[in-house]
A and B are shown apart, each in its own frame.
Chain A
Amino acid sequence: MSNNFDVAIIGGGVVGCAIARELSRYKLRVVVLERAGDVARGTSGKNSGVVHTGINVPPGSVKARYNVAGAENFEEYCADLDVPFDRCGKVIVALKEEEVSGLQSLMTRGISMGIQDLEIIDRATLKRMEPNIEGVAALNVPTAAIACPYTLNIALAESSAAAGVVFMLETPVTGIRGEQGAFELTTPSGVVSSSLIVNSAGLFADKVARMVGVTRWRIWPCRGEYLILDKAKGDLVNSMVYPVPPKEGAGLGIHITPTTDGNIILGPSADYTSDGDDVRTTAKIRRQLLAEAFEFMPGFTARDVITAYSGMRPKLVPSSVGGFGDFVVEEVPEALGVMQLVGIESPGLTAAPAIAEDVADWARERIPAGENPKFVSRWSSVRRTREEELDVIDELVAEDPGYGEIMCRCEMITRREIVDSINNGLNATSLNAIKYRSRATMGRCQGGFCGPRIVELLIEHGGAPESLTLNGGGSWLFMGSTEDLRAERKTQRGRAK
């Protein structure tokens, strides 16, 4: 593999991978450098999966422009990549009469932005739409939608890889030298040369900017914790349920969001932290999320929670300042040849396709290139069978009996889907790489049953036990075989004597 590229994209989140896909339309040599063991492992893989209308961002902002442009064709964008999408709509619910005026100002803003079909509904209408939700009134936003954020991110990456984009995983960029046309990026796997750079490093975009001498930004990581409810409670809502946004604070408030897989997620909280990798979950926030969600949705209990996780927002405004921080999408004079994408927090998922178009145009203006015949217009990462009709499943099983063998019992994921996930085009081999591609281990048993069977398959496919990881890097799953451990202990005892 040559280490000489036209465009080096730093960061394999949804924005970086959307750009990779957009660039894969052209005969350009593109590399994506990702520090983690897979794409979608940062902010992009851990969020609410909401395709925003734009109602929550100030009109005229960069955020608003990309949000509205991205949302416009998001459904087709997902369809091309076989990514689950559902225009389930959203209700912004006032729990108290005092909050109703907040709904009205949101509606006024939404209308000015051209958002369709907005209406304020009374308690009775809300109850008809959402029988399990409490509230005195709501703003109905029927065009809001959800998509599976990590499936999109992975599909963008894999379709780009199939078209020739190079993905270097576990490859953090530690330094950048040179200038436009001849950048040299230092990584643990050697120097990568590139004419242009896209800084889509998310939580670490400020550090990457500093590597090319741009010091004006600082990222303030803001953690958001979520709880996932068992699918058995998936019917409690039909649409997303949001509170009236708090005037102060870093987020949109705790919301109740259905996922495209039929779960409900509660969250996110908003806590600033000094470390963008500190995705811990806490007992305090768990209690807070449960209490706030109960106010809107009394029909569940803490026992319905199957797991918790945290995402991290790359904010450009510290908590002490508060308020609105806009997206940065620009090439700055002191670092020509570098497209800076900084502070891409919510609605970054929705905005990604539109940002990618602009960044691809920017790159092509600098490096003209013809069309790439290998561009993959329609892509499917893993053929899902869970929601297929029975006769379709029968046909699939006739084609490959592996489609009949369910390995992940909670999520009904077959052996074939897991094998397809193992054989992914990015060579991401961790247990989580398989989880995020197949959905296996995401159910109520959290891999208690299928985890060991997936490990057997990984070993069958050539993975040495001591090389298997949860997430790449040092997240080893096994120190080796039981024989290895006994031998190690024996040696230690021998030495002690």
Chain B
Amino acid sequence: MASRELVDVAVIGGGPAGLAAAAEAKGEGAGRVVMFERDERVGGILPQQIHDGFGTKVFKEALTGPEYSAIYEARVNERGVETWLKTTVTDLSRDRVLTVRSNRGIQTIEAGAVVLAMGCRERTRGAIGTSGTRPAGVYTAGAVQYYMNVSNLAVGRKVVILGSGDIGLIMARRMILEGAEVVCVAEILPQPSGIAGNIVRCLEDFDIPLYLSTTVVEIHGKERVTGVTLAEVGPKMGEKKGTRRFIECDTLLLSVGLIPETELANGLGLSMSPMTNGAIVDDSFRTSVPGIFSCGNVLQVHDVVDYATLEAEKTGIAAATWAMTGKLPEPIIDINSGAGLRYALPAKISGNDAVDFTMRPWKEEHDKSVIFSSGGEVLRRLKMPHMEPAGMIRVRVGKGRFNHVVDNEITVELGE
């Protein structure tokens, strides 16, 4: 084999999370930080996201995807992170040995700490099991975004969008601006999957109808899509009889969810969360395997890139600290997510520092509070005027509050 190299921090993935983690790991003083990116450019899907709205939390201004990405690309370069492009990590072991493949051949890397930042992929037609023929013209929203914004290709004239995820909403607007007709957006859930702002800016402003509790039950067309059949669904997602209607179109665009791309880590025996489909981590973003950290969309699918960045920055600092000292605060307090919440991260904390918790509600809620309690005592209660499954909830809990924890256990739930 060509070579065996030692690095202090190996960051797998050069999207927004990988960039931020690598930059901060290096900034924290780690000696050799290498970021592995399989594509020919860094930034993940940011370079294809030419609309603005990125950076409003981190930079207090609305940047485009390429602009946001460029800031972090410059930062990793300035700080001396090595970026290995067109390099795929093909294997990762529990003792942090990476096998990587590139046009230099096969290389073996021994890493002090590993940050998993592989991002996520789009759920496909096959995964959701849409019936019908298999013609050309069925695309995932992210692929269409690449075709339109990077390759300047028009995928169709008359479009139906299934799923109201944010990329699908953004693409609805984009396709209208590029001259296509967007007939409607169908969403199987009773509420939109994308954030409220995008519903207004991308659908309402362009008079695109959004049909809730509605899905595509059949795709038509032998060679190219000729139409889709929509139907309404009941509370248990079953099709409502008598609600089928045919919609003529030549393109079906799918925006039906994102799946963390954890496969590289499958062999490691990481403890995984069935709710996030990502690893279970503590407040240093450590997984259950020593020296392996996880952040960004491979940990939990985020709504806004800024928060993936902030999460990854903390992860980079923790990974560097661990690589240099072998020490991090021991997580001793278990976090249980209770009523109203699908999950809360991190799952374990040390209590030595303030923690930014992230969570998602099961359903839309108004005027409820996020309540942290221990031993029957409330540690922190935060009133939230509006919560929805499409948006992540973020709550910072200060260090002082953890002084009152009983039996090393905190429950977080929604209540009055």
Contacts and interface: CB of A to CB of B under 8 A. Distances in A.
Interface of A: 228, 232, 277-283, 286, 302-303, 305-309, 390-391, 393-394, 397-398, 401-402, 404-406, 409-410, 412, 444-449, 451-452, 455-456, 459, 465, 469-471, 473-486, 488-490
B404 to A, nearest CB: 40
A480 B180 CA distance: 12
Contacts of B86: 404-405
B206 interface: no
B382 interface: no
A406 B151 CA distance: 20
A404 B105 contact: yes
A452 B105 contact: no
A470 B179 contact: no
B275 interface: no
Interface stretch (B54-62, B132-140, B364-372): B132-140
B357 interface: no
Interface in B134-159: 134-137, 140, 142-143, 146-148, 150-157
Given A397-B105, A481-B154, A486-B179, A445 B129 contact: no
B135 A470 contact: yes
B125 interface: yes
Given A280-B132, A449-B121, A394 B105 contact: yes
Determine the interface band of chain B, counting residues with CB < 8 A from chain A: 35 or more
A204 to B, nearest CB: 15
B125 A481 contact: no
Given A445-B124, A448-B124, A471-B136, 5 more contacts: A305-B127, A390-B106, A397-B105, A455-B147, A469-B136
Contacts of B360: none
B136 A448 contact: no
B222 interface: yes
A409 B39 CA distance: 10
A456 B126 contact: no
Contacts of A451: 143
B105 A481 contact: no
B241 interface: no
Interface in B355-395: none
Contact of B223 (A302, A306, A474): A474
Given A482-B148, A488-B179, A475 B224 contact: yes
A281 B129 CA distance: 9
B82 interface: no
Contacts of B155: 477-479
B154 A478 contact: yes
Contacts of A486: 178-179
A442 to B, nearest CB: 10
A481 B153 contact: yes
Secondary structure of the A contact surface, majority rule: mixed
Interface string B97-112: 0010111111000000
B131 interface: yes
A412 B91 CA distance: 12
Given A280-B131, A478-B154, A470 B124 contact: no
Contact of B99 (A390, A405, A465): A390
A406 B101 contact: yes
B325 interface: no
Given A398-B105, A405-B86, A446 B124 contact: yes
B88 interface: yes
A406 B38 CA distance: 7
A356 B127 CA distance: 39
Contacts of A282: 131
Contacts of B223: 470-471, 473-476
A490 B280 CA distance: 52
B156 A482 contact: no
Contacts of A402: 103
A446 B147 contact: no
Contacts of B90: 406, 412
Contacts of B71: none
B126 A446 contact: yes
